[in-house]
Amino acid sequence: MTRRSAALLVLLVLGGPFSVLVTMLHPAAAGQPAGTADGDVEQGRALFTTGCSSCHGLRAEGTRRGPSLLGVGAASVDFWVSTGRMPLKTGGARQAVRKPPAYQRDDIDDLIAYVTSLDPDGPPIPELDLARADLAEGGELFRANCAACHGAVGIGGALASGRLAPPLRPASAAQVAEAVRIGPGTMPNFGPDTFSQDQLEAVVTYVESLDHPDDRGGSGLGHAGPIPEGFVGWLAGLGALLLACYWIGDRE
């Protein structure tokens, strides 16, 4: 944390207005323990009825306001609820965004138990063994399949129709794996035939490594590429030199 704050301080001095951009691109990571599928169906039903049924229907069959959840699988429920995207905030957001989860871990497990009890199909929560995952292969897969939307360093990116590919930093390993398998929202899914278990673990490992990208060159400037570099070059670089000119040279 100290290294990041130091870098941020340097940036404030150097980049001025640009630091705003950096902080906006770097929401603090919120680690979430991965879900286990040993929740209580009855408690889940109660939670579902009060929290979810107004949009998804009493038996998750879907309504005009929300899609059916039959057969979406445990991974889907866990992803949407544990990232705080569900329940949706009232008000017309263009897409569900990450926010502090409304449910505790136990409650989420109960919800998963209830929804999967209605239809056991759909992808389960992926089990991950990241200890032996191939980081480099993960990088290759990430750049080939994920970087187009989320950016090479996972800071997120703009899509059409006002959609955004979210930054990956706040996501836990489990949530990344779930997203890959289910393809939440406008994201394509990558099933077991596309990404093997090994490949999934490799990608997840690489995404996790992007939480702390190797910024051996100094402050990462938000990892948003040449645009912030240009701003820093103008404001901090040329700006400082213009001040020097102004000091050395005559004013009138």
Partner 1 sequence: MTRTIKRANRWFDDRLGASGFVRTALNKVFPDHWSFMLGEIALYSFLLLVLTGIYLTFFFQPSLKEVVYDGAYAPLKGVEMSQAYESTLRLSYEVRAGMVMRQMHHWAAIIFLAAIVVHVGRVFFTGAFRRPRELNWIVGCSLLVLAMANGFAGYSLPDDQLSGTGLRIAYSIALSIPLGGTWVAYLLFGGEFPAESIISRLFVIHVLLLPLAILGLLGVHMAIVWRQKHTQFRGPGKTEDNVVGSRLWPSYALKSVGFFFLVSAVTALLGGLAQVNPIWLYGPFRAADVSAASQPDWYVGWLDGALRLFPGWEIRAFGHTIPAVFFPGVLLPTVSFGLLFGWPFIEARFTKEDVRDHHLLDRPRERPLRTGIGTGVITFYVVLFFAAATDVLATVFDVSVTGLLVAFRVALLCLPPVVAFVTYRLCKEAAALPDEEDAAPVVVRTASGAYVTGHGHQAGNGGDGTPRADGLDEIGSGPRPDAH
Partner 2 sequence: MSDTSRDERRTERAIAVALVLSAITALGLAVTYATGGQVQLEGFLLGLSLGTMGWALCAWGKHLLPPGPFVQQRQHPAEADPEQEPVSRLVDEATGEASTLPGGGTDTEGLDAVGRRPFLVKLLVGAAGALGVAALFPIRSLGPDPGRTLFRTSWRKGARLVTEEGRLVRAGELEVGSVLTVFPEGHIGEADAQTLLIRATEDDLRTRPGREDWAPRGQVAYSKVCTHAGCPVGLYQVESRRLLCPCHQSLFDVIDGARPVFGPASRSLPQLALDVDDDGYLIARGDYDEAIGPGFWERP
Residues that bind partner 2 (CB under 8 A): 140, 144-145, 147-149, 157, 159-161, 163, 165, 183, 185-191, 193-194
225 binds partner 1 (CB under 8 A): yes
Nearest alpha-carbon partner for 69 in 106, 125, 122, 126: 122
Distances (CA, A) of 173 to 8, 101, 166, 184, 241: 26, 16, 15, 15, 45
Question: CA–CA separation, 252 vs 250, rounded Å?
Answer: 6
> Out of 150, 181, 184, 195, which residue is the one contacting partner 1 (CB under 8 A)?
150
Q: Is 17 in the site for partner 1 (CB under 8 A)?
A: no
Identify the bridge partners of residue 158 per DSSP, sorted by sequence position. 164
For residue 203, the minimal CB distance to partner 1 (Å) is 12
State which of positions 176-195 bind partner 1 (CB under 8 A): none
- Please give the angle made by the CA atoms of 166, 172 and 177, to the nearest 5 degrees: 80
Asked if 189 contacts 183 with a C-beta cutoff of 8 angstroms, the reply is yes
Quote the least distance from Cβ 149 to partner 2, whole Å: 5
Binding mask 228-247 for partner 1 (x = CB under 8 A): xxx-xxx-xxx-xxx-xxxx
Q: How far is CA 234 from CA 10, 153, 231, 240, in A?
A: 16, 24, 5, 9
Binding site for partner 1 (CB under 8 A): 10-11, 14-15, 21, 24-25, 94, 135-140, 143-144, 147-153, 155-162, 164-165, 206, 209, 213-221, 223-230, 232-234, 236-238, 240-242, 244-252
